[in-house]
Amino acid sequence: MSPPPFRAEHIGSLLRPSALLDLRRQYARGEIDQATLTVAEDRAIEDTVRLQERVGLQLATDGEFRRQSYHSYFYRQLGDISFDAPQGTAGSRGAQPTASIKSRIAWKGPIHAADFTFLKARTKALPKITIPGPCALHFRGGDAAITAYAYGDIDEFWADIVAAFRSELRSLADAGCTYVQIDETAFAKFGDPDMRATLRARGNDPDRLIGQYIDVTNRVLADLPQMSIGMHLCRGNRGGQWHAEGSYEAVSEKLFNRLSIKFFFLEYDSPRAGDFAPLRFVPKDKSVVLGLVSTKTNALETKSGLKRRIEEAGRLVPLDRLAISPQCGFASTEAGNPVSAEMQEAKLRLVVDLAQETWGTA
């Protein structure tokens, strides 16, 4: 099997079965125990692995079925951390979640190693583990959130973040994991004028912050065991909402050339992402997975339309360094996006079919 990324990819989260969501609610009310919930999660993950194999993907995730959201479980393992995420309606611009940090950041033990081991035992595909990005807390709260309760010094916070993420990545490597996707949504949002204004209002220079986030991420990645690590960028995906809009232009030159990441999953499913022009900065030793298929709409894209977009991107990055995927997960939070299970499977199958027709392999 060739190393990731594959020509046909998916970002990680998948729609939770309604029966599993019902059991989660029962567990929250104290009506069932953790063991009962875990058995249901196990079965649902086995089913979603079969879905991924059925459509022809060469990778498999656990659909993030043990998580309430793509990031909240992970960060709760590092301390007294929570996110205020205002509700909104699908298709609308939602409010950016706000982070609350009430304790020091500390890695207390493996977070997703057991998830990897469970997944590996149930698939012949390559298991992929997704984790949130190391800069999400700061982006969603700024210095004020960090110093409100737990820290008097921002540098100490960054040192703790770097140490925690490095420990988790090493624990995954020790478990045998070779494929990790970092979901760092901050970078894609730097192109939004409203977001940049918000950052300036709280005392951050957006352009300096980009450099700082790149440096922090590089500290996390330095001298890790051999592992394929890609980064996913998006502009928000909670329940079909979005948090920001704007091109990658504000970050592309620095991000593609200074960040120690070899491949990027880029959201490109709507005009909110801008055009492909920022891809001109992608260096020759890096590749891009084009997120062209929307997880926000319950309508299937046309193969011809997607082929035209791949050809357009191929004028800036050679075809042999491109791949295709949905723009984000189908359920960044457990409630999921406004897409049916049947449409989810159709979209994944479309990605695989298009990859096979374009590159001769998925």
Residue 251 has what pLDDT? 95
pLDDT for 82: 87
Walk me through the domains of the chain, giving residue ranges and CATH numbers: 18-359 (3.20.20.210)
Chunk the chain into consecutive blocks of 10 residues (it has 362) and report each block's average pLDDT, rounded to whole numbers: 90 96 96 97 98 98 93 91 70 76 97 98 97 94 94 97 98 98 93 93 95 98 94 82 84 97 96 95 98 96 98 98 97 92 98 98 96
The pLDDT of residue 122 is: 97
What integer pLDDT is reported at residue 320 of this predicted model? 96
3-class secondary structure for the chain? CCCCCCCECCCCCCCCCHHHHHHHHHHHCCCCCHHHHHHHHHHHHHHHHHHHHHHCCCEECCCCCCCCECCHHHHHCCCCEEEECCCCCCCCECCCCEEEECCCCCCCCCCCHHHHHHHHCCCCCEECEEEECCCHHHHCCHHHHHHCCCCCCHHHHHHHHHHHHHHHHHHHHHHCCCEEEEECCHHHHCCCHHHHHHHHHCCCCHHHHHHHHHHHHHHHHCCCCCCEEEEEECCCCHHHCECCCCCCHHHHHHHHHHCCCCEEEEECCCHHHCCCHHHHHCCCCCEEEEEEECCCCCCCCCHHHHHHHHHHHCCCCCHHHEEEEECCCCCCECCCCCCCHHHHHHHHHHHHHHHHHHHCCC
pTM above 0.85, yes or no: yes
What pLDDT was estimated at residue 218?
Answer: 98
Question: In the prediction, which pLDDT does 345 show?
Answer: 98
